[in-house]
Amino acid sequence: MRQPLVVGNWKMNGTRTSARDLAAAIAGGLPANCPVAVGVCPSFVFIPAVAEQLQDTPVQVGAQNVADQDAGAFTGEVSAPMLKEFGCTLAIVGHSERRLIYGEGDALVAARYQKAIEHGICPLLCIGETLEQREAGETFAVVDRQLQAVLDVAGIDSLKQAVIAYEPVWAIGTGRTATPQQAQEVHAHIRRQLAAQGEEIAAQVRILYGGSVNADNAASLFAMADIDGGLIGGASLKADSFLSIVKAAAQTV
Ligand SMILES: O=C[C@H](O)COP(=O)(O)O
């Protein structure tokens, strides 16, 4: 049984005060004994305030990226040891906005993932195809390549400490969600590919869906056999909608 996980990716939004308030509202609104694991990923600079707010709550704090190095002359980067010092237990790696806007390739994503693993931070590895790639029938080939690039570096066993997030680029921030069937088809494919390398790991790794998940469509997505929760962008910026999504995940348990 895989425990559902719902993570809010706040992207480059908010202020120190609004981030702290949102964290408090989420923690305060979770049902008692919530069966869903919950995390939030604020901007780096808000991590200390959010982590402080979430102390003694079950809500995990994550970063939106992590450096591929531990320390040194790497301007603009934040390392896994630094994140750990501020209580981060999660880090998104390979988000499509990093890949497409900032040119992060598979090798860099794999190195970032590897550093998170080395330091006991759970990487949320994002993979997913663009609209052009989907229309060219390349969806499976793209996610296979993105995933294998990481496994070649970190090994299949690293998935015991990691989470995969399938995020079709065409569904991110567009309001155009993948149908539950479209998402399930890719999630099942990912799990099948992993099973060829390690059946037990494939069965236990969580695969989240991300891309325009909201309070209205979450339940039908989370009802699919291989969707184990969500990585939520826009709808994670309002406590009510994020909590409704967490509730939808709880109903699958
Ligand atoms: O990391 C989250 C994804 O990019 C999804 O964003 P979205 O829910 O705003 O489409």
Mean of pLDDT values over 101-122? 98
Was 233 annotated as part of a binding site? yes
pLDDT, one tens digit per residue, over 52-62 is: 999 999 999 99
pLDDT, one tens digit per residue, over 46-100 is: 999 999 999 999 999 999 999 999 999 999 999 999 999 999 999 999 999 999 9
- pLDDT of 57: 97
Q: Looking at the predicted structure, is the pLDDT value of residue 177 above 90?
A: no
Q: Looking at the predicted structure, is the pLDDT value of residue 170 above 90?
A: yes
Q: Report H helices in the chain.
A: 16-29, 47-54, 80-85, 96-101, 106-118, 131-135, 139-154, 180-195, 199-204, 218-222, 239-250
- pLDDT of 173: 83
Percent share of the chain, pLDDT over 90? 96
9 Cα–ligand 1 center, Å: 7
User: Residues 95, 104, 129, 187: which is the catalytic one?
Assistant: 95
Q: Whose CA is nearest to atom 7 of ligand 1?
A: 233
State whether the beta carbon of 39 lies less than 6 angstroms from ligand 1: no
Mean of pLDDT values over 144-152? 98
Domain parsing of the chain, residue ranges: 5-250
State whether the beta carbon of 211 lies less than 6 angstroms from ligand 1: yes
- pLDDT of 92: 98
On whether the pTM is more than 0.90, the answer is yes
Mutating to test ligand 1, I would choose from 11, 97, 217 the residue with most ligand atoms within 8 A of its C-beta, which is 11
Lowest mean pLDDT among 30-34, 104-108, 148-152, 162-166: 30-34
- Altogether, the residues listed in the chain come to a count of 253
- pLDDT of 33: 92
- pLDDT of 67: 98
Q: Looking at the predicted structure, is the pLDDT value of residue 172 above 90?
A: no
23 Cα–ligand 1 center, Å: 18
Q: Does the annotation count 52 as an active-site position? A: no
**CATH code that applies to domain 5-250:** 3.20.20.70
Mean of pLDDT values over 160-169? 98
State whether the beta carbon of 8 lies less than 6 angstroms from ligand 1: no
Average pLDDT along the chain: 97
Report how far residue 114's alpha carbon sits from residue 136's, in angstroms, rounded to the nearest whole number: 31
71 Cα–ligand 1 center, Å: 30
Q: Looking at the predicted structure, is the pLDDT value of residue 195 above 90?
A: yes
* Nearest atom in ligand 1 to 214's CA: 8
Mean of pLDDT values over 228-246? 98
Report how far residue 95's alpha carbon sits from residue 62's, in angstroms, rounded to the nearest whole number: 14
Q: Does the annotation count 97 as an active-site position? A: no
- pLDDT of 174: 84
State whether the beta carbon of 5 lies less than 6 angstroms from ligand 1: no
26 Cα–ligand 1 center, Å: 18
3-state SS record for 147-165: HHHHHHHHCHHHHHHCEEE
DSSP state of 171: G
Report how far residue 204's alpha carbon sits from residue 133's, in angstroms, rounded to the nearest whole number: 28
State whether the beta carbon of 165 lies less than 6 angstroms from ligand 1: no
pLDDT band at 176 (very low <50, low <70, confident <90, very high): confident
